[in-house]
A and B are shown apart, each in its own frame.
Chain A
C-alpha cells in the first residue's frame, strides 16, 4: 500500500469548494444555485474526512454524518421553497425573485 498525502485531499477539497462558489455566483436558476451549495458541502465533507484521517480521530466522521443529515433536511425545506416560488412567480430565474413579499 502506498500513501496518498493528506494535503492532496485538502487541495482537491479547496478546488471543489472554489468551483462551488463560482457556480453559486454564476448560475441563474434557483435549483442550480441550490445544487452549488450542495457541492460546497461535499467539498467540506472531504476536508473533514481527510483531517479525521490525518489525526486518526473519529470526530471528523461524526461531523460529516451530521452535515449529511442537515443537508438532507435543508434540501427538503429548500426545494419546498423553490416549488412555492415557482408557483407564485412562474419562473425559476433568481433575477425575477426581487421582492420580499408576494
Chain B
C-alpha cells in the first residue's frame, strides 16, 4: 500500500459516507453539508486522476456556488425536518434487495469491463497529459460552439430564475 492507494480509499470512503449521510439525514441542512463532503472528496479524487482544473472548478462552482445557493434557499425557506412516511412492504422486501442486486451487478460489470488501454494516475504517461493547457486548447478549438452556447444557456437560466422567483403583484 502506498500513498495514492491510501488517498483513494480515504476519499472513496468519505464520498460514500457523505452519500449515505445524505440519505439518512432528516434536516435538509445536514443533507447539504454531507453533499459538500462528497464534493470535496471527489475533488481530491480528480486531483489524483490528474485533472487539476476540473478539481478547482469542482471546489469553486460545485462546493462553492451551487451549495451556497442550496444552503441559502434552505435558510430562506426555513426548511424543517422532513416528515417520514411509512415504508411500503413491497419497497422494503423487494425494492431494497433488488436495488442492491442492481448496484452489485453494475459494479461487477464495470470492474470486469475492459477499459481500453488501461493506464492510471502516474503510469507511464507524461505528467502534463491532462493539463489545463490541453483542456483549454481542446475547449476553444473543437468545442468552441458548445462553449458559446453555454453562455446563452446561463443567460436564459438567470432570466428564468428571476422570473420564476419574482413575487406576483
Contact = CB atoms under 8 A, between A and B. Distances in A.
A77 B138 CA distance: 29
Nearest to A31: B28
Given A1-B4, A54-B117, A83-B77, A19 B19 contact: yes
> Chain B interface residue count: which class?
35 or more
A41 to B, nearest CB: 9
B69 interface: yes
A69 B150 CA distance: 7
A53 B167 CA distance: 47
Nearest to A64: B54
Q: Which of B16, B146, B161 counts the most A-chain CB atoms under 10 A from its CB?
A: B161
Contacts, number: 242
B111 A42 contact: no
B107 interface: yes
B8 A4 contact: yes
Contacts of B84: 28
A7 B19 contact: no
Interface of B: 2-5, 8, 12, 15-16, 19-20, 22-23, 25, 28, 31-32, 35, 38-39, 42, 45-46, 48-51, 53-54, 57-58, 61-62, 65-66, 69-70, 73-74, 76-77, 79, 82-85, 99, 102-103, 106-107, 110-113, 115-123, 125, 129-130, 134-135, 137-139, 142-143, 146, 150, 153-154, 156-158, 160-162, 164-165, 167
A92 B79 CA distance: 7
Contacts of B143: 62, 66
A39 B20 CA distance: 11
Nearest to A81: B164
A56 B102 CA distance: 30
Contact of A61 (B23, B51, B73, B167): B51
Secondary structure of the B contact surface, majority rule: helix
A3 B115 contact: no
Contacts of A23: 19, 22-23
A53 B48 CA distance: 11
Given A1-B4, A26-B23, A52 B45 contact: no
Given A46-B45, A69-B150, A76 B157 contact: yes
A77 B157 CA distance: 6
